[in-house]
């Protein structure tokens, strides 16, 4: 079974730009979660989607948004990029039931200059 | 709000030494508990999980963890580490009730370095 696939692996953007990251979950998984990982803050939850609906949201500004498609693939968008948005963005998929273990992708490394 | 504290930022051991990584969480309700591992250059992988039942859970590669409810702890152990256990280890907590779908609260991680 193929794992969680995130594209692209690396991105370099300039302040003020916007960026879209993509995540393909494990086949059969209907839940996709997004996390931001930084050396200072560690892993922080952004949001979770299930069957194209956002079910849960972390404490990030509205510049961070996401969506999920009918095939469970998900995208995350960050608008008006700031230097502090530089991070590793991780996507995780699960079956979606309460307590279902998360399966993580390799992440997208975003650098904002 | 939930929080997770991992006691050590960096642990250095020699092969065959015993390992215990501490994890404490703050949350008054029922929780699901996880340990994840990130080997160099690889993605986060689930090591083991606790939902209910026997508080001593066994995971992959000889790891185990014990849930002590009274201490709000979920410490990870391995009797004899190998060089290949060199990795970063993350403890994570999830609210077992409510609507915590997909949301794990992670500790800051512990880097384990094992010298051959």
pLDDT in tens, A27-53: 999 999 999 999 888 999 999 999 999
Q: Chain A residues with CB-CB distance to B under 8 A?
A: 3-4, 31-33, 42-45, 47-48, 50, 55-56, 58, 90, 92, 94, 96, 98-99, 101-107
Closest CA to A112 of A84, A90, A91, A75: A84
How far is the alpha carbon of B64 from chain A, nearest alpha carbon, in Å?
17
Q: Is the pLDDT of residue A63 over 80?
A: yes
Model pLDDT, residue B98:
64
Contact B110, B9 (CB under 8 A): yes
Interface of B with A in 35-64 (CB under 8 A): 36, 42-46, 49, 51
**Burial state string for B11-23 with b = 16 or more CB within 10 A and e = fewer than 16:** bebeeeeebebeb
Mean pLDDT of chain A: 94
How far is the alpha carbon of A19 from chain B, nearest alpha carbon, in Å?
22
Model pLDDT, residue B96:
81
Q: Which of A31, A42, A106 sits opposite B102 (nearest CB)?
A: A31
Model pLDDT, residue B2:
82
Residue A70: which residues within 8 A CB-CB, separation 6 or more?
A: A52
DSSP helix/strand/coil, B62 = helix
Determine how many CB atoms are found less than 10 A away from the CB of residue A102.
Answer: 25
The token pair at B40 is: 């160099």
What tens digit of pLDDT does each residue of B78-112 get?
Answer: 999 999 999 999 999 998 876 677 789 999 999 99
Mean pLDDT of A45-67: 95
Backbone angles phi, psi at B86, to 5 degrees: -60, 120
Q: Is the pLDDT of residue B28 over 80?
A: no
Tell me whether residues B44 and A104 touch, CB distance under 8 A: yes
Model pLDDT, residue B40:
92
Interface of B with A in 70-109 (CB under 8 A): 90, 92, 94, 96-97, 99-109
Model pLDDT, residue A100:
82
Model pLDDT, residue B103:
85
How do strand B31-38 and strand B45-50 relate by DSSP bridges? antiparallel
Residues of chain B contacting residue A7, judged by C-beta atoms under 8 Å apart: none
- Which segment of A14-18, A82-86, B99-103 scores lowest on mean pLDDT? B99-103
Residues B101, B23: Cα–Cα separation, whole Å: 22
DSSP helix/strand/coil, B38 = strand
Tell me whether residues B46 and A42 touch, CB distance under 8 A: no
Model pLDDT, residue B1:
72
Residues B76, B20: Cα–Cα separation, whole Å: 5
Residue B112: which residues within 8 A CB-CB, separation 6 or more?
A: B11, B12, B13, B19, B21, B81, B85, B86, B87, B88, B89
Mean pLDDT of chain B: 93
């Amino acid at each position: 079974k193929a794992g969680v696939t995130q594209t692209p692996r690396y991105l370099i953007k300039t302040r003020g730009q916007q960026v879209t990251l993509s995540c393909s979950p494990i086949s059969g998984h209907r839940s996709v979660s997004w996390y931001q990982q930084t050396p200072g803050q560690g892993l922080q939850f952004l949001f979770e989607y299930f069957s194209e609906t956002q079910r849960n949201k972390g404490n990030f500004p509205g510049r961070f948004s996401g969506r999920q498609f009918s095939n469970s693939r998900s995208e995350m968008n960050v608008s008006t990029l700031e230097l502090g948005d530089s991070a590793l963005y991780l996507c995780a998929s699960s079956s979606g039931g309460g307590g279902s273990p998360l399966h993580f992708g390799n992440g997208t490394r975003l650098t904002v200059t | 709000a939930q929080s997770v504290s991992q006691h050590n930022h960096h642990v250095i051991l020699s092969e065959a030494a015993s390992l215990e990584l501490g994890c404490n969480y703050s949350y008054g309700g029922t929780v699901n508990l996880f340990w994840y591992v990130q080997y160099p250059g690889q993605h986060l992988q689930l090591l083991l999980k606790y939902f209910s039942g026997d508080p001593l859970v066994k995971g992959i590669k000889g790891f185990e963890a014990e849930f002590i409810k009274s201490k709000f702890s979920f410490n990870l152990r391995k009797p004899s580490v190998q060089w290949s256990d060199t990795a970063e280890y993350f403890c994570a907590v999830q609210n077992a009730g409510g609507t915590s779908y997909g949301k794990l609260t992670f500790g800051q991680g512990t880097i384990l370095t094992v010298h051959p």
